[in-house]
Chain A
């Protein structure tokens, strides 16, 4: 155990952002290489389905390794050694993450709520998350959601003839 700790302390690999990206990319390359082994070999004198991905993976692996080496020559970012790295990160990315979560909810509930109801709820909630929950704003956000979502739904279904998902709640047949 002591030997392992000694090796790691000797390596002193600085875990800055680029190093983590490079390691992640190398992992992706490894997974894809292994997956490409399961693809069929070349047939009828044609190119194998695995050839093109491998042509991409070879330089990608090399460049990822280069990024890892380059990252070790960079000064260590304060982020890597901060005592509270997660709180700052969360504050910086809170709004986009909530928006993505709302979009995920919108897509997950699509079979039930459909594009119209789901869209109304999604736009309203996104507006409130981004703009605030005060009573006056709630009315404004509700009006914006209603006008734009119903408007767009009408344009796409009535004008352009697109069959948008109705959802089980509004299904008439």
Chain B
């Protein structure tokens, strides 16, 4: 079936009154949650999760996507009105949004942000609908060994996002994998690392671990001192304004090039594991500044400076969904939670997911598309709610949410063991965070650990030959890419100073061309040839001008 036939099949499933109401509530909740500084989108999605248990997969996923989209757009409200970004994905929005609001145009600034978010989301939905099924077709080529290498690559990328702390990032990822080994082993179901505790034989369900490590530890970190606990959620500066929808739409459409470029940056960053909207909004802002004819206006209320981050951060969600839908692998916390929601409904995402479950898959695509329209219309109403919510003190929210997390986690399997898991991993998360370890690699390690072991057992069930890891093109491709991703933080740090850093990109192209050349067909070896030639030319050029300072190239 083609794209439109699949969408037509999925539409009746999604466009029910109940699902639409749930999505509207979800969007509104996401907008308010995203607008509250310190309250992350992931936290909002975690809180919505228990409510989805009693829903159908489509209703549950659609609600969570609505929260996700709302959260990504909500950050702009506080960013523009108070100068404090509601979420890390709106950091760059404050650079120009706040100065514009301070110069007497808050309605225009908000309108530009809202429309940019909308267009970013719509462009990403189109890319999602077109690219995900194609990527899933490639995913069907993957053998267990390729999957295992892909998981290793995802973990190395996640760890490398820790930058200077890559060592701690890698340790956190490995600790996450180690946690996932507690319980029953994947092959024989024998108890492992239970240390005499019978209950531990069931292992740790990944949602209590995820909520404990991520939400629980973060909330308690936010109220560490009495002063922090008594802070109002959004300061005292927030006030309701009228959003100038028409004027801002004209301004955004006039700059459609920036919208499209920033959205594509957002989608691309979203596809990369762990590189979420926190990175994409800054990257898009930087690109917009570099390509703008009015770069001197950036930081003083430039329209392009609001368009770029807001288009990019909403588009990132589309990129993250592409990987989850096509390969069944979560790239960030949000998609990890969604994966958990799918598993609760006995839907197991994999490359064949889109073809096996077209109704659910295309409903998710459509939900992402529709959520952007809902966000557009609900922004005005939510603005008033946001102004009221910001008056609440941090400690009140913390106490209530901690209780809510425990009730939600209990309702997962109706066992108190999960609440103990939440408690233990809350402590671990708090300690790990305080010691400077990044949390995301650990969470992904826990989520991906079981999948990795299952794939590895399949590899060994087929053959004892470990050379299969480098003889299979996709496996080699991901392993090599994983090695480069480990070196990436050093490259990033020394790219303007160290001579070796000038050869990083050509080396990457040439080395990666080897597995691409090993792939079947005509297209991929041709791509490999282009990669070799490009890498060769870059290498020759950089060798010729090796004495020139890298920054002057």
Residues of A within 8 A of B (CB): 17, 21, 25, 32, 35-36, 39-40, 43, 45-47, 49, 51-53, 55-57, 59-60, 63-64, 66-67, 70, 92-93, 95-96, 99-100, 103-104, 106-107, 110, 115, 119, 122-123, 126-127, 130-131, 144, 148-149, 152-153, 156, 160-165
Contacts and interface: CB of A to CB of B under 8 A. Distances in A.
Max chain B C-beta neighbours (<10 A), residue from A52, A57, A107? A52
B156 to A, nearest CB: 11
B218 to A, nearest CB: 11
Contacts of A156: 50, 407, 411
A103 B402 contact: yes
A60 B175 contact: yes
Contacts of B457: 46-47, 52
Contact of B395 (A40, A47, A119, A130): A130
B411 A162 contact: yes
- 8 A-B pairs closest in CB distance: A130-B395, A49-B185, A126-B399, A96-B220, A162-B411, A47-B460, A60-B174, A47-B457
Given A115-B407, A130-B223, 19 more contacts: A39-B192, A47-B187, A49-B188, A51-B460, A60-B171, A67-B167, A95-B220, A95-B224, A99-B223, A99-B398, A100-B430, A122-B403, A123-B399, A131-B229, A131-B230, A148-B400, A149-B403, A156-B407, A162-B410
B406 interface: yes
22 contacts: A45-B461, A46-B461, A52-B453, A56-B174, A56-B177, A56-B181, A60-B171, A67-B168, A96-B220, A96-B224, A103-B406, A103-B426, A107-B416, A107-B419, A122-B403, A123-B400, A127-B396, A130-B395, A131-B393, A153-B407, A160-B51, A164-B411
Contacts of A63: 167, 170-171, 174
A127 B399 contact: yes
Contacts of B171: 25, 60, 63-64, 67
A124 to B, nearest CB: 8
Nearest to A42: B460
A150 B308 CA distance: 44
Secondary structure call for the A interface: helix
B552 interface: no
Interface magnitude class on chain B: 35 or more
B435 interface: yes
A40 B403 contact: no
Given A49-B187, A67-B171, A119-B403, A35 B193 contact: yes
B358 interface: no
A20 B320 CA distance: 37
B198 to A, nearest CB: 16
